Structure 1
Amino acid sequence: MSFLLRVVVNALALAAAVWIVPGIHIDAVGNDTVGLIISYLVVGLIFGFVNALVRPVVKILSLPITCLTLGLFTIVINALMLMLTAWITQFTPATMTIDHFWWDAIVGTIIISIVSALLGLFVDRDNR
């Protein structure tokens, strides 16, 4: 059940990023609202897998530069994970596109982090 909640939190955070950042787009599976919701959930699921499998390895390998930049390089790592998610979704019916790395992916990553942290507070509160 916790995994499904994380997927929903990721989908809501991605929806906030798509809504705020004009360079991030998620194409719906169909033309209706259900297709759009399924698209966000699929992209949220892929984003969760990327964060669970690839991100820890990249964080360990980039530990020296992360320490050198006092943790700010973590934003770049998160943006790279978002770009990797966009690349993986090219092979699914629900595709996510990011126009530019520097502004769109970086700002999208910051928005996703803030929304995920805020929603995570409510999800963790319900689990206690």
Structure 2
Amino acid sequence: MSFIISLLVTGFLVFILAKILPGVSVESYGAAVGVAFVLGILNAIVRPVLAFLSFPITFLTLGLFSLVITAVIILLASAIMGKKFHVDGFLSALIFGVVLGIARAIIG
């Protein structure tokens, strides 16, 4: 049950942030929930692989490279979702990821 609530809250945050931030667009609230689901799957499967492969550079940058991994995950979600969720570029994905992470930390 908490997974569903977390998915709905993250979908709401994605929907609101897409309306506020330039360079990010989402078609509807349903698409935003879909984006939240895709982000969850990508964070569970792809993020650990990327984190493992990029450990040396993450160590050298004192963890700041994890922001790049976050942006890559969001760009992958944008590619998977097609026209329902679109991010203009790397900088938009980076800002969206940081703000989404902060908002989730505040709400959660």
**TM-score, shorter chain, exceeding 0.5:** yes
The structure whose residues are more often helix, as a share, is 2
Partner of 2:17: 17
Question: Does 2:95 match 1:107?
Answer: yes
Unpaired segments ≥5 residues, structure 1: 28-35, 121-128
Is the 8 Å Cα contact of residues 16 and 111 (structure 1) preserved in structure 2? Answer: no
Is the 8 Å Cα contact of residues 98 and 104 (structure 1) preserved in structure 2? Answer: yes
Identity of matched residues, %: 34
Decide which of 47, 56, 59 is 2:48's aligned counterpart. Answer: 56
2:38 is paired with a residue whose SS is helix
Any residues of structure 2 matched to 1:41-120 within 5 Å, and which? 41-90=33-82, 95-101=84-90, 103-120=91-108
Q: TM-score, normalised by structure 2?
A: 0.91
Q: Distance in 1 between matches of 2:16 and 2:52?
A: 29
1:54 is paired with a residue whose SS is helix
Q: String of CA shifts for 1:67-102, please: whole Å, max 9, x gaps.
A: 100011111100000000001112xxx72111121x
Q: String of CA shifts for 1:13-44, please: whole Å, max 9, x gaps.
A: 312321231100112xxxxxxxx221211111
Is the 8 Å Cα contact of residues 15 and 32 (structure 2) preserved in structure 1? Answer: yes
Unpaired segments ≥5 residues, structure 2: none
